[in-house]
Structure formats: structure tokens, C-alpha cells
Structure 1
Amino acid sequence: MCLLSTISKPELVFQDSDEQKFRRWVFYEYNATVSVFWSPFLVNGTENDYSKGIRHNTLYLDTPNEKWATELDKIDVVVFSCGHWFVQRAIYYGEGNQLLGCNSVQEVNCTNFNFLDAFRKVLRIALKEVTKRHFKLEKNVVVATFPSAHFEGEWDKFGACPKTEPYKEGDTEMPHLENDMRKLAIEEVAMAVKDVKEMNGGLKIEALDVTKLALLRPDGHPGPYLFPNPFANGMKERVLNDCLHWCLPGPIDTWNALLLELMKRWNDA
């Protein structure tokens, strides 16, 4: 949105009244609409809320979140971007609200259910939902792969996000989590593409593979500067670091440039 608004002024036409996690802008000059849907799991469920004593997520892995699913008919390009929330504590339910298992929830008597399996089921159900509705149409779906975090030590210890320059090739190795999440997304995209081809559909589905690009940018996070002037009263041993989210200049610019190239390629095909 920051980049697009340098070319054309958007008008905010909708936002939910509570947490403003769902928003829609219109660029009238170009007859274009951009919508943001907060759905970190893509499926129905409830998020943890420590203020209310809810210390885990509850997910229904077979039911796409209606917030975005009911809007699919109005969307020409869908970008799915999720992953990090799946490593959190969670209880999983499947078809018919059947308990499938838990991830690190000791308070509930249930078997362990790997969060990677949950992530795979969610991506598969999301892509099947789009395919079911749009396989005949010239619409486009992008799945962004898992970007890396770069914490070094404890998240609230000074120096946990210290890098000021990108890594060079060979300076670091892909961690298992990032590699597994990326591989999983690539596999599910390939399966969805195969399904569309077998149905002779016009829907285009591609992965936006940003995992390695993100891995090489440990300098691209807010770090201790998540909030202004963290050291105004002197240096601290403990400080809130954000080495998970990303600053717009740099990495996000690159991902947007790749997304633009995908869209231009579709247009030229």
C-alpha cells in the first residue's frame, strides 16, 4: 500500500470497527481495489488471548475462514501469506469437529499433532477453496513462502537483532523450520496446479519463494526500534526486539517487485 500510494491516492472504503484488521482501499484512478484480511491461520478458529487466560489457539482445519472465502468472487489476485502462527500452542479439530490433537497444550488430554501437518492441511483446504470456485476463470493465486526470523539469543536481550548488513552467499544455512515450511508450501502449490490442469481450468497458481531472500536479510527487521527512541534514557540490558516482522524498505520492496513481475508475466501470457 505504501508503494502503490506513491503513484495514486487510495481511499479507505472499509475497515472493521474493532481492531481494524480488515481493510479495503480503492484506487479510483485505476479502478483497482486492495483488500487486507487478517486470517493468520486461513481457517476458522479462535486466537490466543492472554488477557483472558486463553493460552492457545483453537483451529478447525477443514473450514476456510469466511472472512476471505466469501469475498473470493470479487478478487482477481489472491495472495496467501501465513505460517509463523502455526508454531504456537494450538488445539486442532477436523471434519465434524473431531479432535485431531494438540501442539504443546498440556492442559488438554489429547495426542500430539505436528504443526507442520496442520499447516499443510490449511494450505490444501485454502487452495482447494479457490480452485473449486475459480478453476474455469482467468484468476491468479500466489502463495508466499515462509520468511525467516533472525533472533540471536533471547528476544528481549540487548543485541538479539544486531545485524546491519545482509548476509553474503554461504554466510548462513537454512534452518530446519524455514526449510520445512518452504518445502511444504512449494509441494502444495504444485499439487494445486496439477488439479487445475486436470480440470482444464484457467486459474493460475504460483509460489512467491521469498524464504532464501528473507534468510539473507537479517538487517531487515525493526529490531530494538519497534518503538521510537528505545535508548532515550540510556542503554538497557533488556529491550523489546522485533526480529520477526519486516521493515518496508529492502526485503518487502524486493518481494513486491517479484510479485509485480509475476503479474506482468501473467498479463503477457
Structure 2
Amino acid sequence: MKSMGVGAASPFKDQLHSLTKKLLPWTIYAIFPLAIFRLYFYPLQLPPSSTDQLPSTSSTIITSSASPTHISSSKEQERTEDTPCDYTIGKWVHDKSGPLYNGTTCGAIKDGQNCISHGRPDLDYLHWRWKPKECGLPRFEPNTFLQLISNKHIAFVGDSMARNQLESLLCMLATASVPNLVYHSEENKFRRWNFPSHNANLSVYWSPFLVKGIEKSHQGANYNKLYLDRVDERWASELNHIDMIVFSIGHWFLHPAVYFEGDSVLGCHYCPGLNHTEIGFYDVLRKSLRTTLKTITERRGSKSNGNGIDVIVTTFSPSHFEGDWDQAGACPKKKPYSEGEKQLEGMDAEMRKIAVEEVEATKENAKHFAGFRVEALDVTKLSLMRADGHPGPYMHPFPFANGVAERVQNDCVHWCLPGPVDTWNEILLQVLKKWEGPSKRGE
């Protein structure tokens, strides 16, 4: 048998090549449906992707079934406690769901802020929700809030805005558990409610300056007296029985006043006829907050004095009078300002800035106090955009029942309940959830 030379064609290779060309297409046609069948009934078990898992940080927002989870970007998913959600930047978006409670059924609302029962006909102001730019703000969860304050005493201290915020919170919590009014002073400036389901207490303390103050009266001097170096003991004397305190002040500092440190007069604000230096009220507001936060740090900041205390400072809530408040000023707007339509400036911006700066300074000074936490509840900008949310003429029942009067007094300072102030407490809940996350007090 002759050997085949290098490069000569092999008949066996030719036959194999021919057979392969014929069978290969049929083999592919047979394998393809089998692969589809295998994947359909037995899908591959791939390891979870990092983008499918929400980070387990205290600042991650997970909504309830009442509020669908919304994740705007991977940046939000990667948010950590060091970079919490910035609730100050955002816009008001229309929301068909409306508020949690009805102003006609909640018994805790001050009469002048119960706009529904007073006959306000336009109810669109109830259907807006605050949407932060880079994150979501879940709807309020009353059961979660009650669990977080179980066996605790939460005190709202300040002027009528503190009361406005407290009554909003009471109404939202009452949708899950009915509170009992267990104490009230004769003038209702000091009240306390108890939620027996969670042994939680909510109180309000009237203290429009936080520091010691003597309010003007019709019989006496037509100006307030403020003692900037000492706190108001009407609330401070009960610090040992308070677990969290929420401050809200600002509007009363605009009134005429004389300011003291010790027995010395520092100056005054709008006090014609008195031989005192006009010093305005910005520095006075700052001194009042500084004295207040310093006193709390000294009395309750150390763990050796108990379990510590949490402090929230709600920033200034702007008014929306169009015209002078005492000369037929009104707030007739029927919808929120759109983004960029209303700027935070002037007095509103300065009052907010003072509160935020004093909170940050207190944080820095109190780092060695493990039992003390403080946060600014920054609501100034989102409130500035809601000129439609005030009682206006409906601070009185049915003000136009007998026709349009020549002059109707308007309330463009406080907020209708339900109304925009409910958003403050939605953000407050997120602060509490963050505090009770992985980075708890003292850990």
C-alpha cells in the first residue's frame, strides 16, 4: 500500500467533513428547544447583585404598603447615616390620598386651626405632599411612631407653633390609638396626653422665649421682658422627667421687648420712650437658644444623670400675610408655590440660619456627652412654599355666612389641621427612625 504524501487529501477526512456539514444544522435545531425547555422549568440560580439589595443603614427609607417604595437613583440606595436625606430641598406634588385624619373628628385641634369645621370651602390644600429632591418621604406611620416613644415622655416647648405641631402629631397618632388628656392648666397652656396602649406621654409647655420671660399685659408695660442668661423653669424644672423635647420659637421675638442679663439691661427692640439701645432681635434669639441648649446639656447631657435626652429644634415657620397683618392682611393663595417661585430670604432665612447654627454648635460642644442628641428639624423652606395652608379668614367659623364683611381678620401664621404642618411630623418620624437604627445612643 502506498503511503500518502504530505498534503495529499484523505478520503476519510473528506467523508467526515461531508457528514459533519450535514449533521451540524440538525444538531443545533435539536439542542435549541431543549435548552429553552431547561431554562423555562429550571432557571439558573445566579448570585444576588449588589444593586438588588438595599443597604441596611438607619437612614434608608423603606415605605409601608400605604406608600409605594420609590428609589430615585443608586445614589439614594447607597445613602448612609453620614449622608442622610436632605428634606429641605424639594417640591410639593399633588397627592390624591389626602391626610390621615379628619379635622371634624379629631378632638385635639385648637378651634382657630380647624379650617374644615369652620367652613373652608376649598380643600385642595389637603392634597399636597412634600417630595424631597433626592429621596422619598414616606407617609406617616402612627404605629411605628408610638412604638418608638413607648414608655417615654415627649414635650413640645415654645410658642403657638409648638402647640400647632403637637396637635398635628396627636391627631395623626390618634388614628392608631386614642389618647387621654391627663392634665391641663386653667388657661390650657400646659397640657399632657397619655397613650395607654404604649404608655407614651405627649405634653405641651407654653414658653415663647424658652428663657425666662415676663409677657406684656394690658394693665402693665406694653413690652415683654426677657432674661437671656436663664431658662424658663416652667418647663426646665421637669427635664428629669422628659425623654425628648421639641422646641419651636420665633414669632414672639418680633414683639417689643427689653432684654436683661442678670440685673443689667442689654438693650431693647422697638421700645420708643425708653432710654435703652435698640439692638433688634436676631442676637436675642441666638442667645435664647444658646442658653437653652447649654442648660439641657449641663443638666441632662451626661449618662450619669440618667438615660440622656433627645432634643429637636424646629426651625422658623414663615407667615404669609399679603399686606400688614393688623390692617386687613390676608393669605388668599389657593395652591403651593412652585419650585423656584418663592425664595428663602430676609428675616425668614436669618431666623432659620440662627437655629441651624446653634444646633450644629451644640453638637460639636456636646460630643463627649454620650447621653445627649440634638437635631434641627428644618422646615422653613418647605413651609415657606405653602401660603395656601393657613386658616386665613377661617380662623373664625363661617366668616362669610352673612356676606363679605369690610374687614375680616386673617390668620396667616398658624396652620390648618390637617395641613402642611403634618409634614413636619413625617420628617420627625424619620429622625427618630434614624436615631433608633444601628447607631443608637451611646453605641
- Which TM class, normalised by the smaller chain length? over 0.9
Instruction: State the alpha-carbon separation in 1 of the partners of residues 211 and 395 from structure 2.
Output: 29
Report deviation, 1:155.
2.6
Structure-2 residue corresponding to 1:89: 256
Q: For the Cα contact (< 8 Å) 1:156–1:238, is it kept in 2?
A: no
Instruction: State the alpha-carbon separation in 1 of the partners of residues 329 and 404 from structure 2.
Output: 11
What one-letter code is carried by the residue in structure 2 that aligns with 1:26?
Answer: N
Report deviation, 1:107.
2.5
Structure-2 residue corresponding to 1:232: 401
Instruction: State the alpha-carbon separation in 1 of the partners of residues 238 and 369 from structure 2.
Output: 24
Correspondence list, 1:19-58, <5 A? 19-49=187-217, 51-58=218-225
Q: 2:269 aligns with which of 89, 92, 103?
A: 103
Count of aligned positions: 265
Instruction: State the alpha-carbon separation in 1 of the partners of residues 173 and 219 from structure 2.
Output: 38
Structure-1 residue corresponding to 2:381: 212
TM-score of the superposed pair, with normalisation by structure 1: 0.94
Q: For the Cα contact (< 8 Å) 1:116–1:181, is it kept in 2?
A: yes
Which digits, 9 at most, give the CA deviation of each residue in 1:16-37, with x for residues without a partner? 12x1100111112101111100
RMSD: 1.4
Asked if 1:123 is matched to 2:293, the reply is no
Q: 1:267 aligns with which of 418, 422, 436?
A: 436
Report deviation, 1:202.
3.0
Instruction: State the alpha-carbon separation in 2 of the partners of residues 45 and 186 from structure 1.
Output: 23
Structure-2 residue corresponding to 1:201: 370
Which digits, 9 at most, give the CA deviation of each residue in 1:202-244, with x for residues without a partner? 3110000000011010011000110111111111231100001
Which digits, 9 at most, give the CA deviation of each residue in 1:103-134, with x for residues without a partner? 00112111112201110000001101111122
Work out which structure has the larger RCO, using CA pairs closer than 8 Å and 6 or more positions apart in sequence.
2
Structure-1 residue corresponding to 2:228: 61
Which digits, 9 at most, give the CA deviation of each residue in 1:68-107, with x for residues without a partner? 101111111110101110011000001x221111100112
TM-score of the superposed pair, with normalisation by structure 2: 0.58
Asked if 1:139 is matched to 2:309, the reply is yes
Q: 2:237 aligns with which of 70, 82, 86?
A: 70
Report deviation, 1:159.
7.1
Q: For the Cα contact (< 8 Å) 1:158–1:237, is it kept in 2?
A: no
Instruction: State the alpha-carbon separation in 2 of the partners of residues 65 and 139 from structure 1.
Output: 18
Q: For the Cα contact (< 8 Å) 2:192–2:202, is it kept in 1?
A: yes
The alignment partner of 1:249 has SS state of: coil
Q: For the Cα contact (< 8 Å) 2:321–2:329, is it kept in 1?
A: no
What one-letter code is carried by the residue in structure 2 that aligns with 1:121?
Answer: K
Instruction: State the alpha-carbon separation in 1 of the partners of residues 325 and 256 from structure 2.
Output: 18
Report deviation, 1:154.
3.0
Asked if 1:221 is matched to 2:390, the reply is yes
Structure of greater Rg: 2
Q: For the Cα contact (< 8 Å) 2:225–2:259, is it kept in 1?
A: yes
The alignment partner of 1:205 has SS state of: strand
Distance change in 2, residues 1:58/1:132 (3 Å): same
Instruction: State the alpha-carbon separation in 1 of the partners of residues 365 and 185 from structure 2.
Output: 35
Correspondence list, 1:164-183, <5 A? 164-183=334-353
The alignment partner of 1:178 has SS state of: helix
Q: For the Cα contact (< 8 Å) 2:318–2:383, is it kept in 1?
A: yes
Q: For the Cα contact (< 8 Å) 1:223–1:243, is it kept in 2?
A: yes
The alignment partner of 1:194 has SS state of: helix
Structure 1 gaps, min length 5: none
The alignment partner of 1:2 has SS state of: helix
Q: For the Cα contact (< 8 Å) 1:222–1:241, is it kept in 2?
A: yes
Asked if 1:192 is matched to 2:359, the reply is no
Q: For the Cα contact (< 8 Å) 1:14–1:23, is it kept in 2?
A: yes
What one-letter code is carried by the residue in structure 2 that aligns with 1:3?
Answer: M
Range with greater deviation from structure 2 (152-161 or 227-236): 152-161
Which digits, 9 at most, give the CA deviation of each residue in 1:32-82, with x for residues without a partner? 111100000001121122x32531111111110001101111111110101
Range with greater deviation from structure 2 (233-242 or 204-213): 233-242
What one-letter code is carried by the residue in structure 2 that aligns with 1:110?
Answer: H
Q: For the Cα contact (< 8 Å) 1:158–1:236, is it kept in 2?
A: no
Please identify runs of 4+ aligned residues in structure 1 that moved more than 6 A: none
What one-letter code is carried by the residue in structure 1 that aligns with 2:278?
Answer: N
Correspondence list, 1:150-169, <5 A? 150-155=320-325, 160-169=330-339
